[in-house]
Structure 1
Amino acid sequence: MSTPPHHRHWPPGVPFTIEVPDESLWDGLARRATATPDEPGLFFLGSAFTWGALARDARHLAGALQRLGLGAGDRVLLFSQNCPQFVVAFHAVLAAGGVVVPVNPMNKADELEHYLRDTGARHAIASSDIAAELGRATAACPGLAHLVVFDLADALPTHTTGDDWPATWRAWLPQRHPLPAAGAAAVHVWSALLARAIEPALVPRRGDDLALLPYTSGTTGHAKGCMHTHATLLHNALGSVRWQDMRPCDTHLIVAPMFHITGLVVGLLAGLHSGGRLVVLPRWDRRVAARAIGEHRVTHWANIPTMVIDLLSGDDLDQYQLGSLRYIGGGGASMPDAVGERLQAQFGLRYVEGYGLTETAAPTHCNPMHAPRLRCLGIPFIGTSALVVDPDTLAPLPDGQAGEIVVRGPQLFKGYWANERATAAAFVEIDGQRWFRTGDLGTRDADGYYTIADRLKRMINASGFKVWPAEVESLLLRHPAIKEACVIAMRDAYRGESPKALVVLHDAQRGRVTPEAIVAWAREHMAAYKVPREVALVDELPRTASGKVLWRRAQAAQDALEVSR
């Protein structure tokens, strides 16, 4: 068998494959706590948490959840921004034998209903600032039995003033909120559960056991749960440790959201298993992030390109010390050439782009750190094979010809939760091997580097967040005045793309409902990144003779409009 061309550019010292321990992800935190219990391992806005304290709280929360009826394989919604409690809750659910369902904290009650209904979760953990949304969702989905609520303020230093935070953070992070109403579900205070100090009956879990159920949407409008095991996640975490040259003395900035597969796997899990320290920020802010990099001597920062674009946009960079960074990279969108070149010229850093999906536990491709290319996915990751195929015939295509990227490897999810039809459609057999269809069109060059050409799936990429038009359309149709909706992409100077909605109103509502009112309604009923930045009221949508909406025609008209401006 001939040597794959990308092996000529393989990172020095990185193996082509790795062995993944047959264990639970809980074991990683447990080992750190046993080896260095008094070592500060996680830093959060002036607070420091030792590995021993994090593991103790995770055990006690696991014990409390078991007392509340959590059993092996039960799903638990985790609804929070980045914070120490997220890390504790994630490991507590796994220690109790449960399955974590990470939920975007921007989601509203209308969106949360689907998570509750689809997973059948009877337990949830939420921060108090957004727990009321989950409580409202229980009105339509009464299956939730227990909701555990914590205050973000409990993770802050006792006498913090937050003078160096953004004003919105000062009005948000220190606030304590009353317990929400949650229908028939019992609402529990996090601190009270931990105070009971219940040691759990640790449930033995193997690598092939289900660990995580992150959700991704698609053409149907309904989000689908991706079944990831301890082994699929651990493979890419340990692979990232090798690929990014992570060392025990390193410090990792985690500002990419941990509910997202990249922040969780390449940030939290890789940083923890490498022996490094974690600096966690609840949200992105360029000044807070820049100060954190200098103060903690951050060496690794996984992000999305819009964060770097924002960081470099100010004229105050000479105030910050960024020289400790040894790795800076990410995915979700391409890094513009001008920004990448400035990053290298000003700081000597080369941006390392990668590619992956929720279904693939983040990377299937990554640029080698010693030879990265901008606006390029990189080469197949450790243990991963990739092809470019004709999307109709599935025949492999030659280098330089665009086709669908298909992948196979140990990081692939096991299928969509309770959705055999979607699972069957996601995989194909080529030459007797099972491959996952990414839905992205790309090319491979003679060196084995892959580049995105287009996408087969109908999707909008807003600052790395995937916006699925069918899901937004489904939510818009809940508005009593909206008869029909078609969501397309519009250019956005900062986010890359943003959703735009073409809306047909019911006859009785014409002239009575404005685009601005629809946008305001959308802000109350869907995550902020899904909200249409523009609404156009139209008399009718373009359709085929059979009545199917011609969204591609609508998109082409929008593209032409933007070119003419």
Structure 2
Amino acid sequence: MNLSDQLSLTAKDNLSKTAYVFNGEETNYQTLEGSVTKFASSLQELGYQKGDHIALVVGNTPHFIIGLYGALRLGLTVIPVNPIYTADEIGYIINNGDVKGIITLDVLMEKFEQMDSMLSNVQHYIVGETKPDYDVNQSSLSEKAYSFTKLVHAGSLELDRPTLNDDDTAVILYTSGTTGKPKGAMLTHKNIYSNAKDVGEYLKIGAEDRVIAALPMFHVFCLTVALNAPLLSGATVLIVPKFSPEAVFQITKQFNASVFAGVPTMYNYLLQYPNEDEKDFSSIRLCISGGASMPVALLEKFEQHFDVRVSEGYGLSEASPVTCFNPLDRPRKAGSIGTDILNVENKVVNENGNELPRGDVGELAVRGPNVMKGYYKLPEETNASIKDGWLYTGDMAYQDEEGYFFIVDRKKDLILVGGYNVYPREVEEVLYSHDKISEVAVIGVPDPDLGEAVIAFVVATDSSVIEEELYKLAQDKLAKYKVPKEIRFLDELPKNTTGKILRRSLKEQLAPNQ
């Protein structure tokens, strides 16, 4: 089974049920299924065939859903790309990914007009219209440009579907390049289908659910948890074009949303939203957090304020992405990423790959049908990441006696102070416990005496907070070598489009002063 075929089966049983809502308009499963098939047939008419690569450079719109499922139905490999990337960032992915066609939006065409000459393999631009007066024929790329809407309307419902094999590459996700250029994780049809199915079952997502898609759809967290899993279950996806607390609360109230998935930054914004009259999550049965570790203080404040459970999970692009979630049939553990989801195994290992006893910190390794088949055109990096069928995540973790996993920190973020290990998250949790601190990020910087020093960046909700308070808090709760050497106040922390804090940017801020 694969996503495309499962959508057809789901649609057959739920023809008149709403598949997604966008800008207040509801689209049922019958219409979605027809649009997917017709779009696939139009791609076929343009000369696309199984194995070709096509990029999805769109935001949270129906174009993403139809484009994704239509391309998969034809056996194409889909490469989702962040639409706000720079020309250089997009150009690298398009060229490295051997992309033949690009599905994008009219508002992004100016960018592609300027960079088309560097995209030698691209033969077509399929343009989704967001403005009523947009005409692809007016583009300087008119010879390559096609209207997304016209392709859907002109397509046929009679499509000779190719055979999709489990091991065929369905999606290539380019991981954010924290070091060097981004790498393309090749996810097969089996990878993405199994994870969507297992996540849906684990979280008990059913046809009655209305799942908010406020995370970026190009990101694997939203792709699996808030898009594929709901659509396979016959649920309704509530599309939020761009995250804001106001938009989330509004769509929750209007459509009685039942599931919200977000990163910790989103939960912080929702909690801090000033208009108390609009802060209503009473219809939400489950909140899902991932993408980064959620500070325990934030989790507990959010649950108390909204009277809703927040279940934290864990995943990475190379695992489609989910490997762990806090179980729903028992109390969740604050600070834990939970236990193995269905059909996936996690273990903590030492440098030699040997499993460690419960409670010991080591690298988290993952095995299951969701693990990628490798990095695109990078066999050496693939072999370094996947050993004996286990994916080495680069995250440091431990497992408690009850089988719950806890992420300590990224392996590369570990700070060595005088030979002692300092995990940034431990320091962040302490500073975060101050009731007037809304965000914290801790990094290590070179130190001539101790090797590295701990530096903390904090965002306060009240300007009355002074450094001495935070130093005293850290000194009371942390060993001396873990106490920050310096604490800096910022108006906000630098983040990427998914809300993940960019530690590299913080280090760059310090570079001139080191």
TM-score range, shorter chain: 0.7 to 0.9
1:134 aligned counterpart, secondary structure: helix
Give 2:410's match in structure 1, choosing from 438, 455, 468: 455
Contact 1:367 1:373 in 2 (8 A): yes
Asked whether 1:409 is paired with 2:371, we answer no
User: Which residue of structure 2 lines up, in the alignment, with residue 329 of structure 1?
Assistant: 288
Assess if the C-alpha contact under 8 Å between 1:353 and 1:367 holds in 2. Answer: yes
Q: Which residue of 2 aligns with 1:19?
A: none
How far residue 252 of structure 1 moved from its aligned partner, in angstroms, is: 0.7
Q: Output the amino acid matched with 2:293.
A: S
Contact 2:221 2:291 in 1 (8 A): no
Instruction: Please report how far the alpha carbon of residue 292 of structure 1 lies from its aligned counterpart in structure 2 after TM superposition.
Output: 0.8
Q: CA deviation at 1:379?
A: 1.2
Are residues 219 and 296 of structure 1, via their aligned partners in 2, closer, same or farther at CA, if it must alter by over 3 Å?
closer
Match of 1:386 among 346, 354, 359: 346
Deviation at 1:528, TM superposition (A): 12
Residue in 1 that maps onto 2:391: 436
- Deviation, 1:536, is 5.1
Going from structure 1 to structure 2, the CA distance change for 1:399 and 1:88 (only over 3 Å counts) comes to same
**1:337 positional shift:** 2.6
- Kindly indicate whether residue 155 of structure 2 is the aligned counterpart of residue 197 of structure 1: yes
Q: Distance in 2 between matches of 1:378 and 1:191?
A: 43
Q: Does 1:297 align with 2:256?
A: yes
Deviations 1:63-84 (A, max 9, x none): 1111111110111000011111
Distance across 2 between alignment mates of 1:362 and 1:538: 33
Report the residue type matching 2:26 in the other structure. Answer: A
Q: Distance in 2 between matches of 1:180 and 1:385?
A: 53
CA deviation map 1:332-362 (0-9, x unaligned): 2222233222222233212110011000012
Give yes or no for contact 1:149–1:189 (8 Å, CA) kept in 2.
yes
Q: For residues 538 and 191 of structure 1, what CA distance do their matches in structure 2 show?
A: 49
Distance 1:402 1:528 in 2: 23
Structure 1 residues 386 and 197, CA, compared in 2 at 3 Å: closer, same or farther? closer
Would you say the 8 A contact 2:320–2:372 is kept in 1?
yes
Where do 1:228-239 residues align within 5 Å? 228-239=187-198
- Structure 2 residue runs without a partner (length 5+): 415-423, 426-437, 440-453, 461-493
Counterpart contact for 2:10–2:233, Cα < 8 Å: no
- Structure 2: how far apart are the matches of 1:458 and 1:124? 35
User: Partners of 2:138 and 2:326 in 1: how far apart?
Assistant: 46
- Once the two structures are superposed, the pairs formed by residues 146-545 of structure 1 within 5 Å of their partners are 146-153=124-131, 176=134, 186-199=144-157, 200-218=159-177, 221-369=180-328, 370-391=330-351, 393-429=352-388, 434-457=389-412, 491=457, 493=459, 532=505
- Aligned to 1:457, the other structure's residue is in SS state helix
Task: Tell me the amino acid that sits aligned with residue 374 of structure 1.
Answer: A
CA contact (8 A) 2:263 2:500 kept: no
Mapping for residues 15-164 of structure 1, pairs under 5 Å: 23-153=1-131
| Structure 1 residue identity aligned to 2:311 | V
Please identify, of 130-139 and 448-457, the stretch whose mean Cα deviation from structure 2 is larger: 130-139
Corresponding position of 2:465:
none
Aligned residues: 440
> Cα offset for 1:34?
2.3
Contact 2:169-2:188 within 8 A present in 1 as well? yes
- CA distance in 1 between counterparts of 2:372 and 2:107 reads 32
SS of the equivalent of 2:303 reads helix
Distance (whole Å) between structure 1 residues aligned to residue 335 and residue 12 of structure 2: 43
Q: State the shift of 1:257 in Å.
A: 1.2
CA contact (8 A) 2:258 2:283 kept: yes
TM-score normalised over the length of structure 2: 0.79
Q: Shift in Å at residue 40 of structure 1?
A: 2.4
- Across the aligned residues of Structure 1 and Structure 2, the Cα RMSD in angstroms comes to 3.1
CA distance 1:152–1:321, change in 2 (3 Å): same
Q: Which runs of 5+ in 1 are unaligned?
A: 1-22, 155-174, 465-487, 495-521, 540-553, 558-565
Change (3 A) 1:338 1:490: closer
Higher deviation after alignment, 451-460 or 408-417: 451-460
